[in-house]
A and B are shown apart, each in its own frame.
Chain A
Amino acid sequence: GQQLNQSPQSMFIQEGEDVSMNCTSSSIFNTWLWYKQDPGEGPVLLIALYKAGELTSNGRLTAQFGITRKDSFLNISASIPSDVGIYFCAGPELAGGTSYGKLTFGQGTILTVHP
């Protein structure tokens, strides 16, 4: 099956710093999704990307769909303490060239923000 590799595995930053993380795959994706998960909660959708090269923002978050369709990047600007959590990239598996909503997740990037 498809696998997604996220890096870095964890990040420790100061409040106010910018953050960048990425996700790579050995196979192409037609859609990239970024989720954030707080402890003891389910993942919350942050950004969805649908076209190679697409750049999409959601407040202080910006994500890009890589032009090779095998990677995606998430940036967080001016981090705040509530940005703490685990960030997952995800993409739907392709069945016969058509995705059908079954997501493969990366292993996550753990973000810690020091006040």
Chain B
Amino acid sequence: DTGVSQDPRHKITKRGQNVTFRCDPISEHNRLYWYRQTLGQGPEFLTYFQNEAQLEKSRLLSDRFSAERPKGSFSTLEIQRTEQGDSAMYLCASSLIRGDEKLFFGSGTQLSVL
């Protein structure tokens, strides 16, 4: 299967700890996106990359959040000094640059901050 892969699927951490999530996009996709979803809401955009360049960051992305896509392939999202409000599903998606706007999502990483 060559879909979007995210790891880990679940993460439980204590407040104040750092966590890192990984996303492997569909191999030929140039764009990679990170979204956050809380219970009862639709996904909210956090940031996106075109190849290795991070082109936009949402105001939702505080200074404690950092995302990288060093070689234009996989991406990591790190949250430093986690807070209980960071508990959410973190979704990664990828797409081609061809104007059809179709984003393909991974299964997500469910973060619980205790």
Contacts and interface: CB of A to CB of B under 8 A. Distances in A.
B47 to A, nearest CB: 10
Interface string B41-53: 1111100100000
Interface residues of A, number: 24
Given A101-B48, A102-B56, A31 B43 contact: no
Contacts of B6: 42
A45 B102 contact: yes
Contact of B102 (A33, A40, A107, A108): A33
A52 to B, nearest CB: 15
A36 to B, nearest CB: 11
A43 B4 CA distance: 12
B6 to A, nearest CB: 8
A42 B105 contact: yes
A48 B40 contact: no
B75 interface: no
B42 A42 contact: no
B112 interface: no
A42 B106 contact: yes
B103 A101 contact: yes
A34 to B, nearest CB: 11
B100 interface: yes
A106 to B, nearest CB: 6
Interface string A79-115: 0000000001010100000010111111110000000
A14 to B, nearest CB: 25
Contact of A106 (B31, B42, B102): B42
Interface of B: 4, 6, 31, 33, 40-45, 48, 56, 91, 93, 95, 97, 99-108, 110
Q: Which 4 A-B pairs have the closest CB atoms?
A: A105-B42, A42-B105, A31-B101, A92-B101
